Chains A and B, each alone.
Chain A
Amino acid sequence: NAGVMQNPRHLVRRRGQEARLRCSPMKGHSHVYWYRQLPEEGLKFMVYLQKENIIDESGMPKERFSAEFPKEGPSILRIQQVVRGDSAAYFCASSRNTNTEAFFGQGTRLTVV
């Protein structure tokens, strides 16, 4: 049973470009979460999605960031017009139910140059 799969593992973008981060949850998991980890800081919640629905986006910046979890295919975190401050590790997690533990992927490390 494969774990949470994220790709790419490393992504380099120039300022102003778009970044697309993908996450395939564990088999049987319908709840997906995105977190961001800045250097020397803890993991910060960004968004919680179920299939085709955004449940909680209270941690998402109001501009340039969006997330989706379509009926078919992986969840996508999209960052438009990236800036240096977007450089971070982005982790996706999934869970089976609302009260069960979340399992994390290996992360995508975004570097904006």
Chain B
Amino acid sequence: EDQVTQSPEALRLQEGESSSLNCSYTVSGLRGLFWYRQDPGKGPEFLFTLYSAGEEKEKERLKATLTKKESFLHITAPKPEDSATYLCAVQAAYGGATNKLIFGTGTLLAVQP
């Protein structure tokens, strides 16, 4: 069964304290891995798409990397405004036409000033 596991469930950092979030996945053929940010009461906001092992994407203080079994979201020198829930999702390369995303339960990040 296709599955996405994120760790840790919650993470508290001091402003400027770099860290990484983990997303482990089991999927029958990976079409793409997606990172989203979700603020309370809001919809998920797209951050990155990764398609193949070894690929990296960067945006401001965030950097996403991908291996054959997991992805990391590295946060460098975080600021309080980076506080949010970070969601990882995979899209499987099924034989059919479905594009559904399989989500993990997220990592709740709190950055203290």
Contact = CB atoms under 8 A, between A and B. Distances in A.
Contacts of A102: 34, 46, 99, 101
Interface in B81-113: 87, 89, 96-106
Interface in A37-52: 41-45, 48
B100 A101 contact: no
Contact of A101 (B46, B98, B104, B105): B46
A104 interface: yes
A91 B43 contact: yes
Interface stretch (A12-20, A55-63, A77-85): A55-63
A104 B98 contact: no
- Of B99, B101, B105, the most chain A CB neighbours within 10 A belong to B99
Interface in B54-105: 87, 89, 96-105
Interface string A14-44: 0000000000000000010101000001111
A66 interface: no
